[in-house]
């Protein structure tokens, strides 16, 4: 992959290593969100609202933060999503999976992959990564999906604290299952 992909992977890996505090209870999928100017949508858990640009900068202080993020009221569990200008082709997904695994393993403290594979979702093949990692003050659980879309790279990152993941898991997995590209 070209260096621009490597740089993007490094920036994305840095963003994954961030924080999340506990949320108080189970959530249910209900709020439809979309990437402006596209046909991409998903159902976010009830009560999730868009983060402001200031909140995104605070939550993702490194270079290249995600463009769109929704989160719970305390902003302790979130879903980041966007189209990155880095083109990725469906034929490159297996190679991309290996690159993501390598970059994330180097960039994120104590990353442990629970799943790393190519899946079929919403009629499209995706890189699927499910992992835990250590942030400064807590361990976090991430589910990340990456696929080609309109000549760009579509990225979703669902996350919660590892301790809180049990209460968030059903709602986050329902959001993953609700992704639609058309």
Q: What are the extents of the domains in the chain?
A: 3-21+31-177
pTM, entire model: 0.81
pLDDT of residue 75: 83
DSSP 42: E
DSSP 25: S
pLDDT of residue 118: 97
Kindly write down the DSSP assignment for every residue of 83-97, as one continuous string: EESS---GGGHHHHH
Question: Checking DSSP bridges between strand 78-84 and strand 49-50, what pairing results, if any?
Answer: unpaired
Q: At what angle do helices 93-107 and 3-16 cross, to 10 degrees?
A: 50
Per-residue pLDDT of the chain (182 residues; tens, 9 = 90+): 444 444 444 433 333 332 222 222 333 446 899 999 999 999 999 999 999 999 999 888 777 899 999 998 878 899 999 999 988 899 999 999 999 999 999 988 789 999 999 999 989 999 999 999 987 788 899 999 999 999 999 999 999 988 788 888 999 999 999 999 98
Q: In terms of CATH architecture, what is 3-21+31-177?
A: 3-Layer(aba) Sandwich (3.40)
Q: Are 170 and 45 in contact (CB under 8 A)?
A: no
């Amino acid at each position: 992959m070209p260096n621009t992909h490597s740089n993007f992977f490094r920036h994305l890996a840095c963003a994954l290593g961030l924080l999340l505090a506990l949320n108080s209870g189970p959530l249910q999928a209900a709020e439809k969100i979309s990437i402006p100017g596209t046909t991409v949508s998903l159902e976010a858990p009830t009560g999730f609202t868009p983060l402001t640009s200031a909140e995104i900068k605070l939550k993702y202080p490194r270079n290249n933060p995600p463009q769109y993020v929704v989160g719970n009221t305390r902003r302790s569990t979130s879903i980041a999503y966007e189209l990155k200008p880095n083109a990725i082709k469906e034929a490159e997904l297996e190679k991309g999976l290996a690159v993501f695994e390598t970059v994330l393993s180097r960039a994120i403290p104590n990353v442990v992959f629970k799943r790393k594979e190519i899946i079929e979702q919403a009629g499209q093949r995706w890189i699927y990564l499910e992992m835990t990692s250590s942030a400064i003050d807590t361990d976090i659980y991430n589910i990340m999906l990456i696929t080609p879309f309109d000549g760009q790279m579509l990225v979703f990152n669902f996350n919660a604290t590892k301790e809180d993941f049990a209460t968030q898991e059903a709602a986050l997995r329902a959001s993953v299952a609700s992704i639609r590209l058309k």
